Chain A
Amino acid sequence: NAGVTQTPKFQVLKTGQSMTLQCAQDMNHEYMSWYRQDPGMGLRLIHYSVGAGITDQGEVPNGYNVSRSTTEDFPLRLLSAAPSQTSVYFCASSSPDGGSSYNSPLHFGNGTRLTVT
């Protein structure tokens, strides 16, 4: 199994540009989420999804959009990049049975380092 795959690994954008960070998992996980990691701030939740067709906002959703058309994919869109969005982005997923597996851990991708100039 590939687990959680994030692409690209690195990206440099100019202010105002848009882009999509890709996230795919092959574990049939219903729960998927996006975090950003900044020095001294830990991991902050951007958006999450409990299943295909369902998304919800996390702690820091402004400037980001998500959609969940399939169980496998959960792309994160930056509509108009800003320097404040310079960060490392992590996608994570969790096991399919939320009812009996809520103690199941998040499986993380390897992260995308995004720089906005």
Chain B
Amino acid sequence: AQTVTQSQPEMSVQEAETVTLSCTYDTSESDYYLFWYKQPPSRQMILVIRQEAYKQQNATENRFSVNFQKAAKSFSLKISDSQLGDAAMYFCAYRSAPGRDDKIIFGKGTRLHILP
């Protein structure tokens, strides 16, 4: 079974600085999808960024980018120019490719604090 591990329960970063959140996963599959979700205090779940395992190029969405290391099974999220609105819980998620077990598994999350 696939597992997702986020080893940092909490992190803090100064406003305008850069922070990297870690995510590792365990799978025997070669094709899959990875996601980062953000959950602000409102409890709403918001997609931040996604990555297909077959794509070597790291995904980027404005200030958010990932460092996808397939061999190391690592999928870290980098937030540049941190803003107060980035304060939230961040979850890493794994989804198998079509035709396989269709569970979407989440890590335990990292709570990010932004220091003004």
A and B form one complex:
yes
The answer to whether A108 touches B45 (Cβ under 8 A) is yes
Residues from chain A with Cβ under 8 Å of B43 in the complex: 88, 110-111
> Of B91, B98, B104, which is in contact with the most chain A CB atoms at under 10 Å from its CB?
B104
The answer to whether B45 and A106 have CB atoms under 8 Å apart is yes
A30 to chain B, nearest CB (A): 10
B51 and chain A: residue at smallest CB distance: A103
Cross-chain pair count, CB within 8 angstroms: 59
A21-42 interface code vs B (CB 8 A; 1 in, 0 out): 0000000000101010000111
Flag whether A53 is at the interface (Cβ < 8 A).
no
List the A side residues contacting B105 at CB < 8 Å.
45, 59
CB pair B45 A42 closer than 8 Å: no
Cα–Cα, bound, A59→B1 (Å): 10
Chain B residues at the A interface, C-beta cutoff of 8 Å? 6, 9, 33, 35, 37, 43-45, 47, 50, 52, 91, 93, 95, 97-98, 102-109
- Apart from A40-B9, A102-B33, A103-B52, what 17 extra A-B contacts exist at CB < 8 Å? A33-B104, A40-B108, A41-B108, A42-B6, A42-B91, A42-B109, A45-B104, A45-B105, A45-B106, A59-B103, A88-B43, A102-B95, A103-B95, A106-B35, A106-B37, A106-B47, A110-B43
